[in-house]
Amino acid sequence: MSIQIAPSILAADFANLQKEVEMLNASKADFIHVDIMDGVFVPNISFGIPVTEAIHKHATKPLDVHLMIVNPDNYLQAFRNAGAEIISVHYEACNHLHRSLQAIRNFGAKAGVAINPHTSINLLADVIQDIDLVCVMSVNPGFGGQKFIENTYDKVSRLKDLILSKGAKTLIEIDGGVNLQNAPKLMAAGADVLVAGSFVFSSANPIATIQELKAIHN
C-alpha cells in the first residue's frame, strides 16, 4: 500500500481556513491532521473544538485529530462530535490509557496514541491490539517547523516489529519535521502515515508537494 499523507492544518493560513481546506480536498492528501494544543501539556496554544468543527464543515477528507492536552478523556466526545475520524491521545497525558482507547472506539472513532520522543515503544506492548494508530513524535510536540529527530527511524522499526509480533493492524504515523529527504527512510522503516505541516504549506505549490510525498516508494 502506498504511503498515506496527513498535512497538518497548523501550518495553514488561519485567516483563509476554508480556502486551505479546499486546497487539501483537491490534493492527494489522505487525512487532514488537526493539532490541538492547550498550553499545559505543551508550551503553546493552537485552537479547539469550534475551529475543528469549522474545518470539518468544509473538509472532504477525514480529520486526524492530535490532542496535545491534559485530561483528554474530558474532550473525546466533543472532538468526535466536531468531526474527528481518528483521535490520538498522548501516552504521557493518560493515567488509564486502555480506558481512554476504549472510550474513543465507543464514540465511533479510530483510537490513536501519540508518544513523545523520550517515550519507549515498549510501553505500548500490552495495549497494541487496542490501538488503531500510533503517532510517533519525531519532534517535541508544541510547534511546527522543528528539526526531525534522527532516532525516529530506529524507533519506527522497533514499533513495526512489535506490531507484527502481536499480529496487530496498528498504523504507524510520523509527526514532526517530515520532508522529502526523510520520508523514504521512514517508509522503509515501517511508517504508514506521514504528517507534514510546514514542508507542505511553506512550499510554492502545496498540492504538488503533497503529490511528491504521496509518490514515495521504499
Instruction: Write down the catalytic residue from 30, 64, 130, 175.
Output: 175
Annotation marks residue 132 as catalytic: no
Residue 189 contact partner, candidates ligand DX5, Zn ion, none, CB within 5 to 8 A by sort of partner? none
Annotation marks residue 175 as catalytic: yes
Residue 124 contact partner, candidates ligand DX5, Zn ion, none, CB within 5 to 8 A by sort of partner? none
Helices 49-58 and 17-26: crossing angle in degrees, nearest 10, is 50
Q: At its nearest, how many Å lie between ligand DX5 and the CB of residue 92?
A: 13
Q: At its nearest, how many Å lie between ligand DX5 and the CB of residue 188?
A: 19
Residue 30, number of CB atoms within 10 A of its CB: 19
Nearer to ligand DX5, 175 or 192 (CB): 175
Q: Give the separation between CA 177 and CA 146, rounded to whole angstroms.
A: 6
- On whether the CB atoms of residues 74 and 34 are closer than 8 A, the answer is no
Q: Give the separation between CA 146 and CA 180, rounded to whole angstroms.
A: 15
| 90 counts as binding Zn ion under rule CB under 5 A | no
| 173 counts as binding Zn ion under rule CB under 5 A | no
Q: At its nearest, how many Å lie between Zn ion and the CB of residue 128?
A: 20
Q: At its nearest, how many Å lie between ligand DX5 and the CB of residue 124?
A: 18
Residue 118, number of CB atoms within 10 A of its CB: 9
- On whether the CB atoms of residues 59 and 85 are closer than 8 A, the answer is no
The residues that touch ligand DX5, with contacts defined as CB under 6 A, are: 8, 10-11, 33, 35, 66, 139, 141-146, 175-178, 195-199
Query: What residues numbered 44-83 form the site for Zn ion, per CB under 5 A?
Result: 66
Euclidean distance between the first and final Cα of the chain, in Å? 11
179's grid cell: 520532508
Q: Give the separation between CA 6 and CA 65, rounded to whole angstroms.
A: 11
Nearer to ligand DX5, 9 or 131 (CB): 9
Residue 197 contact partner, candidates ligand DX5, Zn ion, none, CB within 5 to 8 A by sort of partner? ligand DX5
13's grid cell: 493560513
Sheet strands (E) in 17-146:
32-37, 63-68, 84-90, 110-115, 133-137
Q: At its nearest, how many Å lie between ligand DX5 and the CB of residue 99?
A: 23
| 35 counts as binding Zn ion under rule CB under 5 A | yes
> From the centroid of its chain, how far is CA 90?
11
Instruction: Write down the catalytic residue from 30, 35, 38, 64.
Output: 35
Q: Could you list the active site residues?
A: 35, 175
Please give the residue ranges that form the binding site for Zn ion (CB under 5 A).
35, 66, 175
